Structures are given as C-alpha cells and as structure tokens.
Amino acid sequence: MYYAAIISDAKITINLTEKFLSHFNKEIKSVVVGSVDRLMKLINSEELIDVIIVEQTETLRFDDIMKDLNRFNIDLPLILMSKECDPALMSSAVNEHVDNYLSIEGKEPAVYYEELVRLITFAVERYRIERQHYLDTKRYSALVELAKQDQYDFQAIINYALEKAMYLTDSKIGYVAFVNIPENKLTMLAWSQSAMNECHVTNKQMDFKLDEAGLWAAPVRTGKTVFIDDYNTSGHAMKHGAPVGHVEMKTLMMVPIHQEGEIIGTVGVGNKAREYTTSDEYNVQQLFQEAFKIQQSVITKNRYESELAIYRKVLDRSPFGVMYVTRKGFKAICNNNAATILGLEATTEMIDLSKHSGEIIDYIVARIANYTGMEDSVLFDVGNSKWSINIYKFNEEGLDGYGVIFTEVTNVLEYKSKISSDEATLRLMQGLVGNELMSVVAILKTMDDSGEKLSIIKYKLDDIARFLKSVTMVNFSNLAWVDLEEVISKGFDEFIGPSLNINIKLSGIKVFASDSLSRVFYEYRHLVSNRCINISSIEVRFSVERGNLKLHLSDDGVHPLSYGNNQSGMFYLDPLPTVLMTQICKGNGMEVKWLPKMNGYVAEITIPPERYKIGS
C-alpha cells in the first residue's frame, strides 16, 4: 500500500484526488489536508504516511509550506504540484530536495493524476529501498558494537540488542526469551522499558512451560517466524489469551533464534504502525544470533580463550620453534621456544638479527640472503638437544619474508609425546583454524627424524596465517553503491600468484556492498590457484533470475585426483577460503553456493533486487 498526504486547498484537488488516485492504482490511499498543522496531527496520531504532496495554489505558497515542514524535520519523500510550469518554483523545489515536480498546466485531470500515481509509486519505492539500505547500515553498526561487548554483562548485551531491534523495525515494544528444550522451559530474559511501563499485570511470570506458553512459544514449536498483523482479530491456533493488565498488542512479530541448527531463543517485537516484513525478520535474526553467540562466549570464557590466543599459546608451548624473518633488515618475531634455541630473550617485539650472532643465527641470515628454495633440513646441537631447521619463503601478499621452523629430533618418541599433550589444548579450539591446526599436529605425529613432511606443515600454517589476516580485513560498516566490475577486478588483482586470463562479462552493474566484497574474489582466485592444476583462466558472467542477479564464477583448471573422484563429479572445497567467501557474502546480504563441475570450481553468488541496479 501507498499512503499519500496532499497539502492543498484547491477544490478540484479536494474533490477528485481520492477518486482518480484509487482508479489508477487501488494500492494508493490518500488524504487531503489544508495545512502543515493538520498533517502533523495525522502523523502524531500514528496515521500511516508514505509520501507528502504539496500543491502550490494562490493561497498556499510552496516556500511557506516548506518553512513549516522544515520545523518538524519530516523524513518523507516530497512531490510538488503546481498549476503552471514556473522556473523559479522549480529552482526552489531543487533547493528543498523535492523528489519530483509535476505541472498540471493544460492537462486534463485524468492525465495528470495518472502521472501523479506514477510519481507516488516511484518516490515511495525509492524511499523504501534507501530506508532499507540505511537500516542495513545501522544493523551492521549494531553488530559491530555487539561484537565489542563480549566482556560486558550479558543482560546489558541483550538489552542493547533488543533496543536496536525495536529501532530497526519501528516497534514500540519488545521482549527476549531463552529456550531450554530439555527442561521444556521458556524463560523471559528481557522486556523493553516501554512494555514494562504499559504492563500492569501483577506477579509477572518469568518462566513458562513450552507446552503451556501458547502463542509465545509458537516460533519454538514451528521453527518459523510468526507474523500477526492485527492481534485483536487474529485467530492463530496457539493464541490462548492474555492476562488482565497485559500490554495492549496491535501488531506482532516473533522470531526464532537458531544456533548450530538448534533453536536457543525467541525475540518478539510489536506495535509497529504497519505490517512487519521479511526485512524486519532478517534484522532481528542477525542481531540476536550475534548476541547469543556472545552469550556462549560469556558462559565459557573461563574455560576457553579466543581462537587466536590459543593459537599463539599452542605455538609457545609446542616443542617446535617458529620464527618469521623479514626479507629486508632481517627483523624477526619468534615464539618462546625459538628464542631459547637462538639464545635470545623471549619477547613479543621485533628482534634485529643483524645485532646478534651465533652459529644458528649466522646460518639463518646466510640462507635467507642467498635463498634459492626450500632445502633439506640442517641439524644443530643446542645443549643436550638436537634440532632440525627448515627455512621457507612466504608467498602471501603482505608477508614479504621467511618462516623458520625448529624441530627437536633428539628423541622422536619423546617429541611425539609432547605433541600429544598439546592435542588436549588444541581440542579447546573451535572452528576452522582449530581443525587445520589439528591436521598439522596429525602430520607432526607421523614425522620421522628427517622431517620430510615439513613442507606440508609449512603450507598449512601459511594458509592459516593468510586466513587470519583476511578475517581482520573484513568489515561491513562502510556500505555504498559501487561498480561491481571494479570490485571484482580489485579482488582478483590483489592476489599475488600465477598470471591468469581474467574474463569479466559484465558492465554497468552497481551493487550496494561494503569494501570487503572484493575479498570474495580474492579468496576465489586464491582457491583455484592453489587447488587446481593447468589453470589458465577465470570467467565471471551474470544472469537475472526471478529478479535476483546471479554471478557465475568458473575456471578451466583440473582438480588433482587426491581431492576427489572427478568421474563422479565430486570435488574438494578448501574450507578456509570458501567459508570466508560465504560469510562475507552473507554480511553483504548475498548468498554463495558451489556447483559440482568435472573440472575447476563454479561459484554462484545470488544478489537480491534491492542490492543491485543495472545501467544507472
């Protein structure tokens, strides 16, 4: 529906507007008011208004009306109508940021009302899209703020998320409930302050049995969002009635919150002036999925550390030494074990190797100065222990240096025992980085004295470092309309690797996205460059299906047989880049899926209508 308020005192407008507008579009409801004060009475009474139309007449001057409107800071699209086409009036309209101008000079009512209908629908739809983009930006900002609050009280986090959910959905009241399926219980975690002010129920109940909670538990039972456009007339099967003194309900949306496939909570917002939409549902889901993730970290913060912290802790506790050395200046960062082997003090600061000497340091500096490729490990005696040293060059962008791995081979059995003890620590680590590090440990446990599998370890650690670096570069707060071809080219160009023929078959397309979107295409090129053989080109093309823009990314490479059975169409997906691509797409309101293909990889990215525009 489109709700239009027309400020005019012209008799023809008063008599004909409702008849003609509804004739051309039954979705348009209109009201004619004679002044800005009457318009404000409608707005203050929560009458729905989508667009304001100002008609300049002999007694109602546009400049005077705009002065009155500007006093109230009304954020709605404006359309100006006038009897004559007046250049000075058009100039004033431009200065006041009026969305559209319509002159009715010499036109029959049927003609200019038909044109007015077109302007109303265009102005309102554009405003709604811009409003949604604004809310998207606010949601991303709220998510960023939530992510920063992991050290704060969980109740404060829930209250903050509820406040933002009500703001993003234009709701007057809201609540949050936690679900305990094994105990058949629904526990209220938070009510909005407005709901508490309006609620006059005595002995407010905080815990409910799921099978007795009626409508409040509907999202838990069905796993779906419940939309109620008119609470009083709703005949929902699970509606049992409300106690005396309960908050008056008009409209209601109740959203289930999922985590790892399980429903862990439900959020309700209500009394929006108009119907709730799927965009409202998405905003609430995103906010509270993040909030409940923080809850889990708060519950377990005494048992688990962050993934990165454990990663560094494992490196420091592990029996192998790790060091990174810059190509220029021989500046180094090393873990505690490497520092001990080199006879240096343990520190988190950069170490200038040129200011230190010793048999091992001199060997490392000489090897890096004349590096020609990874060579067989060299053994050194350190006290009563024997250490194997391997040096390799990082090929990753931003890591212009070398990795050094020190492996103790004094007693392989003792060494494997030490690795096993670290497995317990590694099991604390959740997520992809933890899984990848576990695979490193599995390789280390099967190594013999020669350390022949260090090249595999090098690749995996290199991949983990690249992944963690990529994660730090992602944010969703700086949304803007950007040229899609430029975004794709930027991502492909930032990857340093084998030269490929990049064929991008699209132009004139803009998407509403953050800077991080280019990282999707960086990750795709990284994936195909490292997981395919005989690759020479990447192709990007698009299609439009049911209003959605579909981006198709494909390459001409061949999968190594070790990564799948190509005869059956199976293929291996490297988890780190593919998951990062998926998360970045989700953060930009898009979706990516992988399609089976005999050779190479095919990624399909779906961009919804509100996120792209063609030819403008």
CATH number for the domain harbouring residue 82: 3.40.50.2300
Who wins on pLDDT, 200 or 319?
A: 319
User: According to the model, what pLDDT value does residue 275 have?
Assistant: 86
Percentage of the chain beyond pLDDT 70 is 69
User: According to the model, what pLDDT value does residue 468 have?
Assistant: 65
Q: Are residues 68 and 100 in the same domain?
A: yes
pTM above 0.85, yes or no: no
Q: Which of 300, 324, 357 is the last residue of a domain?
A: 300
Q: Are residues 45 and 120 in the same domain?
A: yes
Q: Are residues 336 and 411 in the same domain?
A: yes
Kindly calculate the radius of gyration of the chain based on its CA atoms and give it in whole angstroms: 32
Q: Are residues 172 and 288 in the same domain?
A: yes
**CATH, residue 594:** 3.30.565.10
First to last CA, the chain: 26
Q: How many domains does the structure of the chain reveal?
A: 4
User: According to the model, what pLDDT value does residue 485 have?
Assistant: 92
Q: Are residues 113 and 7 in the same domain?
A: yes
Considering the domain boundaries, does residue 14 fall inside one? yes
Q: Which of 417, 434, 453 is the last residue of a domain?
A: 453
pLDDT band for 253, please (50, 70, 90 cuts): very high
How large is the average pLDDT for residues 480-499?
A: 87
User: According to the model, what pLDDT value does residue 446 have?
Assistant: 52
Q: Are residues 91 and 36 in the same domain?
A: yes
Which letter does DSSP use for residue 598 in this model? S
Q: How many CA atoms lie within 13 Å of 427's alpha carbon, on the beta-carbon side?
A: 6
Considering the domain boundaries, does residue 259 fall inside one? yes
Q: Are residues 184 and 246 in the same domain?
A: yes
User: According to the model, what pLDDT value does residue 606 have?
Assistant: 94
What is the average pLDDT value for the chain, to the nearest integer?
74
Considering the domain boundaries, does residue 294 fall inside one? yes
Q: Are residues 100 and 219 in the same domain?
A: no
pLDDT band for 382, please (50, 70, 90 cuts): confident
Per DSSP, which regions of 484-533 are E strands?
501-505, 509-513
Q: Are residues 188 and 290 in the same domain?
A: yes
Considering the domain boundaries, does residue 461 fall inside one? no
How large is the average pLDDT for residues 58-83?
A: 83
DSSP states along 110-144: HHHHHHHHHHHHHHHHHHHHHHHHHHHHHHHHHHH
Considering the domain boundaries, does residue 471 fall inside one? no
pLDDT band for 107, please (50, 70, 90 cuts): confident
Do residues 590 and 608 touch, judged by C-beta distance below 8 A? Answer: yes
Q: Are residues 175 and 312 in the same domain?
A: no
Who wins on pLDDT, 330 or 425?
A: 330
pLDDT of 460 > 70? The answer is no
Give the domain range for residue 507. Answer: 480-614
How large is the average pLDDT for residues 312-329?
A: 65
Q: Are residues 497 and 604 in the same domain?
A: yes
pLDDT of 104 > 70? The answer is yes
User: According to the model, what pLDDT value does residue 295 have?
Assistant: 61
Instruction: Taking the CA atoms of 118, 124, 128 and 133 in sequence, report the sign of the dihedral they define.
Output: positive
Q: Are residues 155 and 294 in the same domain?
A: yes
How large is the average pLDDT for residues 246-252?
A: 78
Q: Which of 84, 112, 135 is the last residue of a domain?
A: 135
pLDDT band for 305, please (50, 70, 90 cuts): very low
Considering the domain boundaries, does residue 143 fall inside one? no
